[in-house]
Structure 1
């Protein structure tokens, strides 16, 4: 009986031909040679080798050690390459050329798939922002006066974005509780996660030329899961009057796979109803395509699911975030990464951070391996997600995993 082809996937596989996320990998035999890959079920296809084998005109974009050249090529190229890849893994006549170029996932090493240019993190969940406001401003308004008028964000540190599977060293810094007479220095005692979704810019823009809402698809190549690790005690002492700095910049973990926007067409949904009138550059009320994404995220601590944040509840959309961060004329570069901010829903089991899940440590989580308020050394966090796909399928997003090591 002939061995089953790796292209013959089980029904409902979330990484079937309807998905085809991009990544970068190396093999044990050539550990220094990074290659552009496309995930197909439990395998990764060497996209550059496939392009050469089939005489594709896209070999120059796919036979690269990074996604940046393909991302910079623009939307027409993204569409055409995706169509070609779909044919390569579905047309039976291509199997003799394609099958030898498929590598089992457990036999390869995955790397950060693009060179990060700039990194911006937003604060787009009303549920998260409200929870944080109630924790830190119990006697005041939960939301700041500007929150319903613009997507609040800050510029992060691109150089400390790491690929899923990279250990995260517990950061040290200054801390000062209200009862302390002076700040102290040492390892963070309130190390936290932020379950987020990141959008990767492909096509750059000129400085001085804002990107309109309608141009979102022309500039954004795809999306990935992201965990923006946070040292809450360091952040609480340093962030007045400016924004996050050392409490955030030590590490941000991102998935090894980038899901193309086109794979998520069936997951587009309308964002929550807006309660305040928006300025024209942010007003998406008349847009033909809904700006939200129905992504179902799951957060696990040491193998135990602790939260399932719904991305569909995010108040500000990725298109609005892109429009806002360029409205002053700031330019986009290939490899720019902008993240949603913590994804949280209305219920406790939908909160995307330990700050919210434990209400700043006052309501510990009960887990099989003990109670948790914030992360302990040795803890491993894993984010996974899926989205509705075409014809009742599911689109899987690549996971993000990180383990805390002592500083």
Structure 2
């Protein structure tokens, strides 16, 4: 499905779009924005601008026009992939041919002048645990000789998250309160988390719908990937340690999950599909319902993730953000399609706008760890920051920013925009 919209030489007449790090014309991610004096609008990012798709709805012929007058992307992503591709093609034509500039220009908004909203009305949110290095690193803190539980290499592990507390980039991170029990305490106490952490993840937005009782086959699961975003599943590690047995995370995760506002569509990501890394010798082959040869050949993505921190003291001193880690999304042990196939294997129905998190994506080394829990070894090895500060966990005033870019030789790099949040007490 690679076509003319992915041409590295393609250019846009919109000022600055061709040199934009995240949003050249080869990207065209979708989102929802509030221009300030009107209801929220559906738009597409192009450089530093947003084009109002609702205002240009008449330019999309009747047979390819998805509903553009709503304030979420749910209706668009309920349409077949061919419809969304036709929308992309027409939008590409409007933004690449300067003959359309007089038509489109009145409907361009500067991104800095608008407020971004959640792109979907999220019905359900599920967080997986497919970053094998993260699972191994965390496991070693508790089970040094056997970090991975026996089921990890047989089944994509996940838990049902809280959709109501998913928020778009920029939402303040209010330090959560809950029950904690220090090792040397006889009983738990209620108070603010002292071990607040971030998690470097990708989000998978679901397109289409399967009926309750009808699993999605692994061969068809890729068609259910509407697009990707950045995702930070903020975690209160001290609350989690006390509450997670026997049913898993609860208050330690449900207080906030931050996503980047732009949906980088599956169509935009076609050139960046790569082979899923081979499993280690001796690892079990997935059961048949999770195995598809094409998914193994092209089910991963050439995306690099990174996370930066900027503390209150760093901002006061005029210091730039400090990179904590960076690494490839291909550190996923299971593909996004395998996540979807397993999620629906029991007949669970996934709807347009449902959100799946990959779980923390880490690498084998400290400079690629996706959480402070790993970087600081559970609080035993503080991280040194510019200006003389140290961190084991997040303090009030700390600002975390996630970034990602899709890169592959012969194609224009595209990005995901910001995913950030600042901790407050």
Q: TM-score range by the shorter chain?
A: over 0.9
Quick check: 1:12–1:393 contact (8 Å CA) kept in 2? no
CA RMSD, Structure 1 to Structure 2 (Å): 1.7
Deviation at 1:74, TM superposition (A): 2.2
User: 1:400, 1:188 → 2: CA distance?
Assistant: 22
Residue aligning to 2:30:
22
Q: Is the 8 A contact 2:14 2:95 kept in 1?
A: no
1:286 is displaced (CA, Å) by 5.3
CA, structure 1 residues 17+38, in 2 after alignment: closer, same or farther (shift >3 Å)?
Answer: same
Please state if 1:91 is matched with 2:109.
no
Contact 2:13 2:96 in 1 (8 A): no
Structure 1 gap segments, 5+ residues each: none
Map residues 381-396 of structure 1 onto 2, 5 A cutoff. 381-388=400-407, 391-396=410-415
Partner of 1:76: 82
Cα 1:16/1:120, change in 2 over 3 Å: same
* CA distances 1:381-407 after superposition (whole Å, capped 9, x unpaired): 00011002573310111220111110x
Partner of 1:337: 355
Map Cα deviations across residues 340-362 of structure 1 (whole Å, 9 max, x no partner): 00000111110000000110111
Structure 1 residue 147 corresponds to structure 2 residue 166: no
Q: Does residue 257 of structure 2 align to residue 252 of structure 1? A: yes
TM-score when scaled to structure 2?
0.90
Instruction: Tell me if structure 1 keeps the 8 A contact 2:234–2:256.
Output: yes
The 2-side partners of 1:285 and 1:16 are apart by 32
Contact 1:7 1:89 (8 Å CA) reproduced: no
* 1:380 equivalent in alignment to 2:388: no
| Corresponding residue for residue 198 of structure 1 | 203
**Aligned with residue 287 of structure 2, among 279, 284, 293:** 279
Partners of 2:119 and 2:18 in 1: how far apart?
27
Q: Answer whether contact 1:267 1:387 (CA < 8 A) is retained.
A: yes
* Alignment check: 8 A CA contact 2:195 2:236 kept: yes
The answer to whether the Cα contact below 8 Å between 2:32 and 2:119 also exists between their aligned partners in 1 is yes
**1:356 aligned residue:** 374
Structure-2 change in CA distance of 1:371 and 1:55 (3 Å): closer
- Closer/same/farther in 2, CA of residues 348 and 68 from structure 1, 3 Å limit: same
Structure 1 equivalent of residue 316 of structure 2: none
Is the aligned partner of 1:230 residue 2:235?
yes
Partner of 1:294: 302
Structure 1 residue aligned with 2:335: 317
Distance 1:301 1:68, change over 3 A: same
- State the shift of 1:178 in Å: 2.1
SS, match of residue 86 in structure 1: helix
Question: Alpha-carbon deviation of 1:19?
Answer: 0.3
Distance 1:34 1:287 in 2: 37
The counterpart of 2:189, out of the listed 184, 190, 193, is 184
Q: 2:13, 2:97 within 8 Å by CA — same for their partners in 1?
A: no
Paired residue for 2:417?
A: 398
- The 8 Å contact of residues 7 and 40 in structure 1, kept in 2 or not, is answered as no
1:310 positional shift: 1.6
* Conservation of the 8 A alpha-carbon contact between 1:282 and 1:323: yes
The residue number in structure 1 matching 2:56 is: 50
Mapping of 1:138-177 within 5 angstroms? 138=144, 140-177=145-182
Q: How many residue pairs get matched?
A: 399
The 8 Å contact of residues 200 and 360 in structure 2, kept in 1 or not, is answered as yes
Deviation at 1:136, TM superposition (A): 1.5
